[in-house]
Every structure is written in C-alpha cells, then in structure tokens.
Amino acid sequence: MELNRRELMLGSLVGLGLQTVKPDRASATTAYTLPAWTPGMLDIHHIDTGVGNATFIMGPDGTTILIDCGATRGGPPASTPLRPNDTRRAGEWVARYALRHARAAKRTTLDYMIATHVHPDHVGSPKDGDPKAPEGYVLSGLSEVDALMPADLVIDRGFPDYDPLPLIDAPFAANHFAWLTARLQNGRKVQHVAVGSKEQLVSRTPGAFTVRFTGGNGRVWSGGNGQSRDLLPPRQSWTPEGTPEENHMSIALVLEYGPFRYFTGGDLVADTHDGAIPWLDVETPIARATGQVDVAAANHHGYFDACWPEFARTLAADTYVIQAWHATHPAMASLQRMADAWRGRPTKDVFITRLDPASRAVNERFVPKVKSTEGHVVVRVSPDGHYRTFVTDSRDETDQLRFTGDIKASKRLQTHAPFPSIGR
C-alpha cells in the first residue's frame, strides 16, 4: 500500500479524532464510535476478552499483526466473564474484532501472528466439545484465529525443539505444538523468535515501521542487528528452585513508528525469590535493552512478580496498558509503579482492559488514578509521532467510545533526543 502526503495528512486528522469535537470521557451509551483506521495511522488494539491477552496491530501501511490470543476456560472466579458474551469462543471473538478493523485496509488475513509463550491465557486451551481442524488439533485461541483469519507467518518462542526449556506436559501445550506442526506439514510458515532481529517481522511497505525482538526464549538483545546473549545459566546448573518457567521465555518486542515507540513483553517476570536467584529476573535486562518507550503493555498482567521498579524506571512509558482478567491483576505495588502514584508526582496514564471486582477492592487506593478499568484499549499513532488512546465498549461489536484521551507527543518529539537503550 503506497502512502502519499495527502493520505497521511487526512489520516492524522480523521484517525486522531481531530475532525470533530468529542468529549474526553464518553459514556457507554454515546453515539460516538472509534474512527476507522486510515492509511498512515498505526493502531494498537488491546482486546478485552476477559480471558487472556490479545493484541491486534494495524500498521500504517496495512500490515496486520496479532500478538497472542488467550482462552482461559475456568470462568469466574478463575477469570472475568468472556466478552462480548459466551455465545462464541475467545478465538472467534478476536478474529471477528481483527477482521472488522482490518476491513478499512481491505485485509482479511494476518501477516504475522506472535505466540509470546505457551500458556492458556496467551495461546488458548482446548476443551471438550471444541471444534477440531482436519489435522486433529483443537481450534482454540491462536489456532482458531488462524482458521478464521489465516496468518502468513507464526513467530513462536521456541518451536520446534523448545530449547532450553521444553514445553510443559499439558493438553494446551500439546495442542499448540500440534497446530504449529500441522502448519509446517501444510507448507505454512512457522519460525522461532530471532532475538535482536529487525528483519524477522517487516512491514508490507519497506520502512513503514520497524519491530525489533528485544527478548525471548531466554535471550536478550545485546546490541547490533540480530545479536543476542543468554539470560539463563547453563541448564546443568539449574536447581529445583532455580529453574525458569514458561513465563521467563516470553517474547518481547519494541515497535517503532517514526519517533513513537511501543513495548510488549508477554509474561516476563522479575521475581528473584527475594534475591536468592538473581538471574530469574529476566524483565530487567530486557527492559534495559529496550530503553525508553511511549506506551508499554504491562508484563504478566501487572502480577506481583512483574513490572518491578526497573521496568517502570527504564521504560519510563507515559502510558501503560494492563491486560487483566483475574482477581490478582494487577498487584497493588505494580499498579502504583506504573501510575507513578507517589506523593507529589504527576501520574502516568494507566488503562486496564478488565478489572475484576476483587482486584478493584484491593486496589481501591489507586483505582481513581486509572483512566479506564474495562474495555478495548486502542492506541492510535499519527505519522508525526503524536498519539491518542481510546477505550471502546467490549460488551458488543459496535466500537462505541467510552473514553477519548488527550493527544500526546512522543518522547522524541518532546526531547529531540534518541532513546537510551543497550547498556543503560
């Protein structure tokens, strides 16, 4: 898709909502809906299903990317209720959402699908009665989206050998592996993440935007294109307490569009067992490799073992999105850090896709500082580096606005300086 100056200017005006006056806080019954994507705009949709992570990205050139599609199956109190409702599975809802928003670019497929790590709230979970593909695997989460909105390339944290950490022996992991194996057998592409690379995921129009994988599968970007190093000690030195888990292996990336930067890192964690095993903190070195960003998705849903002090200090995002679905999301300390809710400081913008009632009670002290506690969180970035955050109603498919944020300038526009990253 070729972009010209007129299209870019129109995209900036229409996409950021500058063509009409809208209230900063819209009620759930407002007639205003999210303006459609236009060429030149970057849209990052954090989809509120209530049962796991799902992030759909529309690049400024029409490139389509899906990061995760969770499908926890316990229901309350294990997770918040499925949105919009339980008449469809999470994979169906996410595919319908992505297809609806990709229609503006006349897209019906995904260029890329990223499985940050293999847990049910990120890749799906089979359940008796779920439909099956002809190859025998169950359609759930990512595999179901792939059946409805096929992906050209799936980027996985460690397929096929999952070295150094094998997949857990569980039905959801076996189903994920069966889906990826079937893709290969059918001549469809699957790759394990190339940490440090800016060439594994490329825009349809060369140079429209860039994505660098700054972490994944126990490695971190070490500077230079495609270069990375191990975060974990040799496997033979692991102990029963000092053994990484699937969350430690999560894929992390930074997306850059002009001066704007966005970070997401799956379920990266920082818990060192109170300093007993320092290397279990994979969050900090990956954050340091990434450097400052404008918008960041919270690691591990803002759980107690993630979004530790160095995460917030190093990324220094102005806007955080917490993809929550459980009573433990987010932890109070994690929420305080992301909001920067210390006495005498201006708070950061924090958006939560779904705040469970129990979590609301626990976090009562900081909830008033949160911009939104339910709904799809959409970050829209214009070609000049300004961005705006919208929240749309997740109870139906009409994309009605619940919140329209102020237009913000990216850090690079504010400081006219590059972001520090490696070696910071």
Element (H, E) at 154: strand 151-156
**CA 405 centroid distance within chain:** 20
Task: Establish if 419 belongs to a structural domain.
Answer: no
Taking only the tens place, the pLDDT of each residue in 9-65 is: 444 544 575 333 333 343 443 459 999 999 999 999 999 999 999 999 999 999 999
- Closest of 347, 329, 268, 337 to residue 309, by C-alpha: 337
- Strand 64-69 to 210-216 pairing: unpaired
**What does the pLDDT average to over 231-238?**
96
**At which residue do the structure tokens 């593909």 appear?**
133
Whole-angstrom Cα distance, residue 264 to residue 153? 19
Task: Establish if 59 belongs to a structural domain.
Answer: yes
Task: Establish if 418 belongs to a structural domain.
Answer: no
Element (H, E) at 189: strand 189-192
Task: Establish if 421 belongs to a structural domain.
Answer: no
**What does the pLDDT average to over 196-214?**
98
- The pLDDT assigned to 6 comes to 41
Whole-angstrom Cα distance, residue 30 to residue 305? 38
Taking only the tens place, the pLDDT of each residue in 378-391 is: 999 999 999 999 99
**What does the pLDDT average to over 272-276?**
97
**Is 70 exceeded by the pLDDT of residue 212?**
yes
**What does the pLDDT average to over 257-283?**
98
**What does the pLDDT average to over 189-217?**
98
- Under the banding of pLDDT at 50, 70 and 90, the label for residue 78 is confident
Asked whether 321 and 353 are in contact (CB, 8 A), the reply is yes
**What does the pLDDT average to over 106-110?**
98
N residues, the chain: 424
Q: How confident is the prediction for the chain on average, in pLDDT? A: 92
**Is 60 exceeded by the pLDDT of residue 281?**
yes
- Count of domains forming the chain: 1
Q: What is the CATH number of the domain that holds 251?
A: 3.60.15.10
**Is 90 exceeded by the pLDDT of residue 341?**
yes
- The pLDDT assigned to 28 comes to 40
Task: Establish if 392 belongs to a structural domain.
Answer: yes
- The pLDDT assigned to 416 comes to 60
- Closest of 382, 407, 349 to residue 11, by C-alpha: 382
Task: Establish if 165 belongs to a structural domain.
Answer: yes
- The pLDDT assigned to 418 comes to 53
Taking only the tens place, the pLDDT of each residue in 283-317 is: 999 999 999 999 999 999 999 999 999 999 999 99
* Cα 65 to Cα 20, 61, 249, distances in angstroms: 29, 12, 20
- The pLDDT assigned to 16 comes to 75
Whole-angstrom Cα distance, residue 103 to residue 160? 33
- Under the banding of pLDDT at 50, 70 and 90, the label for residue 75 is confident
- The pLDDT assigned to 23 comes to 37
**What does the pLDDT average to over 243-264?**
98
pTM: 0.93
Whole-angstrom Cα distance, residue 61 to residue 403? 26
Task: Establish if 320 belongs to a structural domain.
Answer: yes
- Under the banding of pLDDT at 50, 70 and 90, the label for residue 76 is confident
**Is 90 exceeded by the pLDDT of residue 261?**
yes
First to last CA, the chain: 37
- The pLDDT assigned to 417 comes to 52
**Is 50 exceeded by the pLDDT of residue 207?**
yes
- The pLDDT assigned to 30 comes to 45
Whole-angstrom Cα distance, residue 133 to residue 368? 46
Taking only the tens place, the pLDDT of each residue in 118-166 is: 999 999 999 999 999 999 999 999 999 999 999 999 999 999 999 999 9
Taking only the tens place, the pLDDT of each residue in 152-164 is: 999 999 999 999 9
- The pLDDT assigned to 414 comes to 85
Domain limits for position 267: 42-412
Q: With pLDDT > 90 as the criterion, what percentage of the chain qualifies?
A: 88
Q: Provide the token pair at 366.
A: 């900081």
Task: Establish if 395 belongs to a structural domain.
Answer: yes
